[in-house]
Structure 1
Amino acid sequence: MPNNTAFEQSDTVMPHTPSSVTPSSAVPESVTIVEVSPRDGLQNEATLLPTETKLELIDHLVASGLRRIEATSFVHPKRVPQMADAEAVSAALPRGEVSWIGLVLNERGLDRAIAAGLDEVNIVVVASDTFSRRNQGTSTDEGVDLWNRLAKRASDAGLKTTVTIAAAFGCPFEGEVPTERVADLIRRCSDAQPDEIALADTIGVGVPAQVVALADAARREAPGIPLRWHFHNTRNTGYANALTALQLGASALDASLGGIGGCPFAPAATGNIATEDLWYLLDRSGCATGVDPAVLLSGARRLGEMLGTTVPGQLSRAGLFPPVELPPA
């Protein structure tokens, strides 16, 4: 059953207004973390986890208190073999507390997401033509047209809709992406009345000044639509960008347990910002997330065992401050 409260904001979250976009030194009292490790995290890992192991990971995430989780993507298994079990994962998801998100790229993907009974769909429009063709086989303009069709169908089926504008901070093939181009895409995509717009630094090239410029563009072109941000830490700017977005009134921030992930179709697109590291930044800044750090860190360590590697996130190695003895993974 779709969760119709997933996008409701509490009175403690900074509202979206068309006023000044200069970051405040203060942060909102709370923000939503959207967990993407089961999808964006695992899709770029060489290790193919079996369905039951993915569900163990998801159990850790739910137990930690995360309540919006991108569980899978409905894409062709030959293109992204890590997501070949999307239906099996969806069928086993615990329902009731979490709003479950699926990424879709085309009509067939949306058919599968609706049949799987997910609560939300994340539909991607890529800001550059070259990357769009490599990622989805369409031009950017074709991607906007597709978004408009899919958004209506998803909404009619009772699913919440997010349009993610990928490569909004830069393209691995074309280089700089002008703010004006992203602003135009925001305006055109807002015509379909998404429940949320997400701006993605898909290859981790963005800096806080770009966050400010894009937040200004979003407020100008799509006033009142909640704004979500997706950052990678490829060049160690992801957390600075997240803090800037938070100060500008972000409704949600994406993160991936352990900092795993990236885009398999973008060269050198390394991991997302780590959920546990983001939690530490937010918590020490006075911003509540509803997440239990002990369970989160236990999950990050267990994820490293699942993948047979050390996850990129720092907090699972450095530990909490002040020091706290944590349970085993």
Structure 2
Amino acid sequence: MTVVPWEGLPERVTIYEVGPRDGLQNEKAIVPVADKAEFIARLVAAGLRTVEATSLVHPKWVPQLADAEDLLAVLPRAEGVRLPVLVPNERGLDRALASGISEIAVFGSATETFARRNLNRTVAESLEMFAPVVARARENGLWVRAYVSMCFGDPWEGDVPVERVVAVATRLMDLGCDELSLGDTIGVGTPGHVTALIGALIEAGVGVDRLAVHFHDTYGQALSNTLAALRAGVTTVDASAGGLGGCPYAESATGNLATEDLVWMLDGLGVETGVDLPALVETSRWMAGRLGRPSPSRVVQALSRGGPRT
């Protein structure tokens, strides 16, 4: 690979790896705890320093992650490595605290329909539910991330106005969250829309250093949208090893941006990530074997066929 830097990009990007949680949550066949733990260990060994480990939701809603406490009990905690977990409410926070977790995430929605389907609450009611979660988490010294889903479009409501996303996002940040991840849950965003939303949030007082982006590749736009976000000043990007994932409550949400595809692009641009791409590819090939199907990541496929290496 020839490295050709592009002016206007950050020198370094933090990859927020979501494969073990968002990537696996929609798998119908239960992945054993030992395999989940090895998956996370391999991701950390490949250089990823933030790996979202699991979700502390009721097992009825996400059976794949019913083993959350068992997984957290066997994960090694290393200095400089963050293993956040998703918590839906105060009960989830209680479980996180009992497991010794130091980073959590809450998951909100920019649209009413998805809030109802995902949380069985209105947007306003979900924010009320998150308020004590965030407050207690901060009191206990936890780092808190907020996700906002359906930022660019909703399968039931259609287009989502930028001002609506800004209204929900700023209310979440006002609760005391440290970071805000903007989710293109069904993958309909395009670079101009991404740039406009980030600009509107900055204008509303949310620092770009507190923003992250979370793109799905439904329409093949995840990398172009990521590049637009980076040029707008964002330096944290969510991605899923091997392109695993979707959303169990939005059937049109296909796989996440593949971490390997992201790293390949950033390597070529001379942007540091700290990730060992060959080791990451091998990790995704290993997990694909456990799941019994090929990885959808273009880079994993190309390097598995013996394509040019970095």
TM-score, normalised by the number of residues in structure 2: 0.94
Secondary structure of the residue aligned to 2:201 is: helix
1:199 aligns with one of 161, 170, 182: 182
Q: Are 2:209 and 1:231 equivalent residues in the alignment?
A: no
Secondary structure of the residue aligned to 1:122 is: strand
Q: Are 2:277 and 1:277 equivalent residues in the alignment?
A: no
The Cα shift of 1:46 comes to: 2.3
Which residue in 2 is equivalent to 1:26?
8
Secondary structure of the residue aligned to 1:294 is: helix
Q: List alignment gaps of at least 5 residues for structure 2.
A: 1-5
Residues 251-270 of structure 1 mapped to structure 2, 5 A cutoff: 251-270=235-254
Q: Distance in 1 between matches of 2:309 and 2:236?
A: 28
Q: Distance in 1 between matches of 2:223 and 2:77?
A: 31
2:164 aligns with one of 158, 181, 200: 181
Q: Distance in 2 between matches of 1:274 and 1:47?
A: 21
Which residue in 2 is equivalent to 1:15?
none
1:36 aligns with one of 6, 13, 18: 18
Verify the 8 A CA contact 1:186 1:222 in the aligned structure 2.
Answer: no
The Cα shift of 1:25 comes to: 4.5
Which residue in 2 is equivalent to 1:323?
308
Q: Distance in 1 between matches of 2:205 and 2:53?
A: 27
Verify the 8 A CA contact 1:201 1:230 in the aligned structure 2.
Answer: yes
What fraction of aligned residue pairs are identical, expressed as a percent? 46
Q: Distance in 1 between matches of 2:101 and 2:218?
A: 30
Q: List alignment gaps of at least 5 residues for structure 1.
A: 1-23
Residues 75-224 of structure 1 mapped to structure 2, 5 A cutoff: 75-97=57-79, 98-224=81-207
Q: RMSD value over aligned CA atoms?
A: 1.6
1:294 aligns with one of 268, 271, 278: 278
Verify the 8 A CA contact 1:190 1:222 in the aligned structure 2.
Answer: no
Aligned residues: 302
Give CA-to-partner distance per residue, 1:26-79, whole Å, 9 cap, x none.
311101000000000001122210100111111110110100010000011111
2:33 aligns with one of 44, 47, 51: 51
One-letter amino acid of the structure 1 residue matched with residue 254 of structure 2: T
Give CA-to-partner distance per residue, 1:271-318, whole Å, 9 cap, x none.
000001100011101110000111101001101101000111011111
Q: Distance in 1 between matches of 2:235 and 2:11?
A: 12
Which residue in 1 is equivalent to 2:290?
306
One-letter amino acid of the structure 2 residue matched with residue 75 of structure 1: V
Verify the 8 A CA contact 2:85 2:103 in the aligned structure 1.
Answer: yes
Verify the 8 A CA contact 2:105 2:147 in the aligned structure 1.
Answer: yes
The Cα shift of 1:193 comes to: 2.5
Secondary structure of the residue aligned to 1:99 is: coil
Which residue in 1 is equivalent to 2:42?
60
Verify the 8 A CA contact 2:25 2:64 in the aligned structure 1.
Answer: yes
Give CA-to-partner distance per residue, 1:62-114, whole Å, 9 cap, x none.
11010001000001111100100000111111112311110111111111111
Moved over 4 A (4+): none
Secondary structure of the residue aligned to 1:206 is: coil
Verify the 8 A CA contact 1:71 1:102 in the aligned structure 2.
Answer: yes
The Cα shift of 1:261 comes to: 0.3
Verify the 8 A CA contact 2:10 2:235 in the aligned structure 1.
Answer: no
